[in-house]
Amino acid sequence: MKSASLAPMLDKAVAGRSPWQDARARFLRNKAAVVSLVLLVLITLACIVGPWLSPNAFDSTDWNATGVPPTLENWHLFGTDDTGRDLFVRCLIGGRVSLMIGALATLTSVTLGILWGAIAGFVGGRVDNAMMRIVDMMYAIPYLLIAILMVTLLGREFYLVVVTITVFSWMDMARVVRGQTLSIRSKEYVEAARAIGVPTSRIILRHVVPNLLGIVAIYTTVTVPAVILTESVLSFLGLGVQEPMTSWGVLIQDGVGVMESSPWILLFPAALLSITLYCINFVGDGLRDALDPKDR
């Protein structure tokens, strides 16, 4: 009877859970990370859907309602700026632009960093040395100087902001991936693939890169807020997106000039930017704890 009662428990223990299921369970136990993820999803959905639901356009001016504080009248929930434009819609549009730049720049920089670091770490030797010296030289170049130069020569276009941020945000990922690849390339399954003649490019894409997903997922959540903050700094300095398009950095720049007379113009975009950055950081902490192999 005792062995029969233990059979289901033994079957369950043998079946077990996959590492991804264990990681998800650990992540869901982190209340701060879960709440931050929910807030981040709500902010993203609001930035995507909100402007369509508002009767006000982000670039339309109402000269009879300039500098109006937050009110329900005419759906000016965040008030208006000094030219009568609805701040609520502009905050959502600005969030859409900032999040889009953050997502695109992060995606391209992470992809470039993974490929660069994986190739350098797996091939090794002179190739590794040459590739990492290029990374060291990139670190020595001040990104703000290059950003000013690109804007001066090519103009303030959306794609130029993404390119500028990408050029100076992939090196950290490349170094992290290279370090992980150096340890992965000595594993038995990699040696077996080499022994049977699998091409180096296929080993990197099939065996090395998939085993880097954990550290990449964690590091991506660190890169996204850094990219968004960089875009905000560039926009604050006048090197970001052009009017009438806006971003949180542009809105904060506008709010600083009228901070004493109209503090809400600075308060709302700064609050949205701060909340978003905090949420992404908390989600990143949750992913780091969930995917940490020491906790498995």
Question: What's the pLDDT tens digit per position in 100-144?
Answer: 988 898 899 888 998 898 888 888 889 999 999 999 888 888 877
CA distance 151 to 216: 31
- Alpha carbon 231 to its chain's center: 11
- Average pLDDT on 141-163 reads 76
Residue 219's pLDDT band, with cuts at 50, 70 and 90, is confident
Q: How far is CA 77 from the centre of its chain?
A: 28
Q: Which of 15-24, 203-212, 244-253 has the highest mean pLDDT?
A: 244-253
Of residues 269 and 142, the one with the higher pLDDT is 269
The domain segmentation of the chain, as residue ranges, is 29-67+74-295
pTM for the structure as a whole: 0.80
Torsion angle, alpha carbons of 85, 258, 240, 43, to 10: -60
Nearest alpha carbon to residue 94 among 283, 239, 240, 256: 240
Instruction: Give pLDDT, residue 7.
Output: 47
Distance of alpha carbon 274 from the chain centroid = 14
Query: Residue 296's pLDDT band (boundaries 50, 70, 90)?
Result: low
The verdict on domain 29-67+74-295 having CATH code 1.20.1260.10 is no
